[in-house]
Structure formats: structure tokens, C-alpha cells
Amino acid sequence: MAQSVKLSGITKTYAAHTVLNDVSLDIQPGEFLTLVGASGCGKSTLLRIIAGLEEADRGTISIGERDVSHLDPQKRDVAMVFQSYALYPHMTVGENIATPLRMSRLSTCARWPLVGMATPGRREALASIGKDVRAVATQLQIEALLGRKPAQLSGGQRQRVALARAMVRRPAAFLMDEPLSNLDAKLRVHMRTELTELHRQLGATFIYVTHDQVEAMTMSDRIALMADGNILQLGTPDELYHRPASLRVAQFIGSPTINCLEAIVTNGVVQLIGVPVANLHEAEHRSVTVAVRPEALRLHAEPGDVTLQATAHRLEHHGADCFLLAMQHDQERMLHARLSPAEASGVAIDQPIRLHFRPAGAHFFAADGLRIEPPFDESAAQAITQRQVGMSA
């Protein structure tokens, strides 16, 4: 049943290129954990190492209480769903699903063509395999397809067959390598729901690899965001979105991308375009990046807001939302703001526009990209205001 997967100090190098750099990860039993990152970040390699298809140079993998670092994939009790589905094209759907069971329940001898026919116990084993295959097929609603070849199936049906082949063994953990990326957009959204539903039903541990942050955000219990062979941040989708540990995390998660502006720090006060926005405890920072989510930018000002001057450039209508692209004046950055259609209707293209945000709703990152937490309590806000007054006097 559902078991924990524990990685510690996984390192993998190809020639001179380090693909995974001392990666450690604790995955809870029954958790849906997503490894997300741009292509080449090492997420697929990590999954293949967990599966046992590749061996790590250093580090250990335990599933449940067992150290499986040097075991064959089958002995690790994991199942994998591949991006290409990797169905055996010469077998029917039923035979495809039965393959993992044939390998485990039939003896080597019984698997031989012709010779195997006479092996004792073969008939009983095949009957039990057939029963399990039908049960899984019923669960995934593909009973009608059992006699077909993969070539006769649609993308979504192949996806289900691949899932069935993974499920039939009741593995300790499911490994999924971008299983939805070959589906069309609509089906992908549908399968997202189905997979989460399936995860809940099975209660099994899912380790899911994707480059699509939307998939990661919508499906996961926790996300491990990877870059250059390291885990940048491990947390719930909410944590990654609302408290990104670094600028790279903030930029990866969220669509459209978070707006970034450069600010200078004098005497511990963050000044954006000459306007103080926050007060820092540590005075050693020279410059910081102020990052604002598109939905944090507003057209109407509230007390204490920071105001950005920009020129409205383009409106993107998405139905319920409308994205405004505006060129910010001082730093010549394209800003994205998420507006309601009602607000957007008042925007005049190529005309100056003011965008406001609350400093407490912004994220601050040091020059090394790490998150800084400026104090945003009342006293700090007052301190800023007082200093502002002092400066203007």
C-alpha cells in the first residue's frame, strides 16, 4: 500500500555535467508530490533514479522502510507512467495491462512461448491475472478496449491503458513522467481532475514530473521546484505561490509571470523610483527586487499604496479576467496586471495609466535572489511615513 519515499543526497553526473546535486526529499505515504521545473533541471532523471532505471552516483533511496538504492525496478515495487505511454504496440490492451503481472506471477519457464504451455500452475496464474486485469479495466472504464491494439486508441484512451498497467500491480508508489503533455489542451485539463480523483481513490504515493506549473499547482499536495539539479523550494502550492523562497521560484510559479522591479536601499529603506516602500531590519542590502503578482496591481489607489506610472500597451481578454500589459515608465519594464473586465473596459490603449499596489502584498528579494521579509506592521508603516515626511521637509 501507500509508502513513503525517502531520497537522501542523490547526486548524478553525466561526464562533467552535474544533473542532480545532493538532492534530498521526504515524500509522505499517500502524498501527491510534483517535481516541477524547466527542461533540463534534472526532474526526469530524479524520477528515473527513483524508478531504478538509472543509478545515482551517490545517495540512497528508501521506499517504506527498505533501502532500494541498488534494487531492480520491479523489486522496488513502483510503477511508472511514461510521457509517450510506452504501450507495447504488438499487444492488445489486455495483454499490455497483464504484462507486469505475467512477469511477477508466472515463472521464468512459464513465460516461454510454447515451452511455457505445459508449466504446472500456469492456468491458475493466468486466471488470476485475467481477473485483476478486468478489475482495473472496469475501474478505469476501459473494459470495452481490452481486445484492441494501442494503435487503434485515442490519446486519452492510451493514457488510461498506461495508468491501468501501472495500477494493476498495486505498487507502493506511482511515478509519472509528464503523463499529460501529449494530450490536447482540453483533455489535459480533464485528465488533471481524473488523476487527482484517482489519487484520492487509491490513496497511493504519487510522484509526478511536469514542466507545467499549472499542473503542479492544481494537482499536488506538495511541489518540489527544481532548477540546475537542486530543489529550490519544497512546499504546498499555496506556499510556493504566496511565499516563494527565491526570485526564481516567484518567476516560475504563476501566469502571467510576476512583475519585477529594481529598488535601491538607503539606510534600510527600500526605495522604488524614489518612493520608500518598505523598511528592512538588516541594513546591509544595497539593492532589492520588488516582485508584484499581476493580481496585486490595481487601477484604484488605496492609502499606503505604491504607485507606478505606465503606458497601457495591450489588453488580453480571458473571459473572467483581463490582462493589461503596460510599459512602466522609469525602468521600461512590461507590467502585467490582472483586471476584471469591468475595470479593463475603462483602460485606454497607448494612454498613461497608474497602477497601484500595497507594499505588504509585494515580495522582496535580495541581490542573491533570496527572499527578504520586511516588517509590515503598523509601526513600520508609520516609520516610513515619518521618514517620508522628514525627507520632504
* Interacting residues with other proteins (CB under 8 A): 48, 51-53, 72-74, 78-80, 82-84, 86-91, 99-100, 103-104, 108, 111-113, 149, 151, 165
Closer to other proteins by CB, 70 or 90: give it: 90
CB of 138 to other proteins, least distance (A): 21
CB of 84 to other proteins, least distance (A): 5
What are the two backbone dihedrals, phi and then psi, of residue 363, each rounded to the nearest 5 degrees?
A: -110, 145
User: How is residue 183 written as a grid cell?
Assistant: 494530450
| Residue 371, helix vs strand vs coil | strand
CB of 15 to other proteins, least distance (A): 13
Strand 32-36 and strand 205-210: the pairing is: parallel
Closer to other proteins by CB, 34 or 44: give it: 44
CB of 94 to other proteins, least distance (A): 14
Strand 222-227 and strand 230-235: the pairing is: antiparallel
Closer to other proteins by CB, 108 or 379: give it: 108
Q: How far is CA 281 from CA 76, 155, 376, in A?
A: 49, 55, 11
CB of 165 to other proteins, least distance (A): 7
Give the amino acid at 382: Q
User: How is residue 154 written as a grid cell?
Assistant: 485515442
CB of 104 to other proteins, least distance (A): 5
Closer to other proteins by CB, 165 or 285: give it: 165
Closer to other proteins by CB, 140 or 277: give it: 140
**How far apart are alpha carbons 180 and 294 in whole angstroms?**
27
Closer to other proteins by CB, 128 or 386: give it: 128
Q: Which of 285, 280, 290, 217 is nearest to 258 (CA)?
A: 290
Q: How far is CA 252 from the centre of its chain?
A: 10
Length of the chain: 393
Closer to other proteins by CB, 90 or 170: give it: 90
CB of 348 to other proteins, least distance (A): 46
Strand order, beta sheet including 66-67: 17-27, 5-14, 58-63, 66-67
The dihedral over CA atoms of 54, 57, 59, 60, expressed in degrees to the nearest 10, equals 40
The dihedral over CA atoms of 144, 146, 150, 154, expressed in degrees to the nearest 10, equals 20
CB of 102 to other proteins, least distance (A): 8
| Residue 109, helix vs strand vs coil | coil
Closer to other proteins by CB, 78 or 226: give it: 78
| Residue 22, helix vs strand vs coil | strand
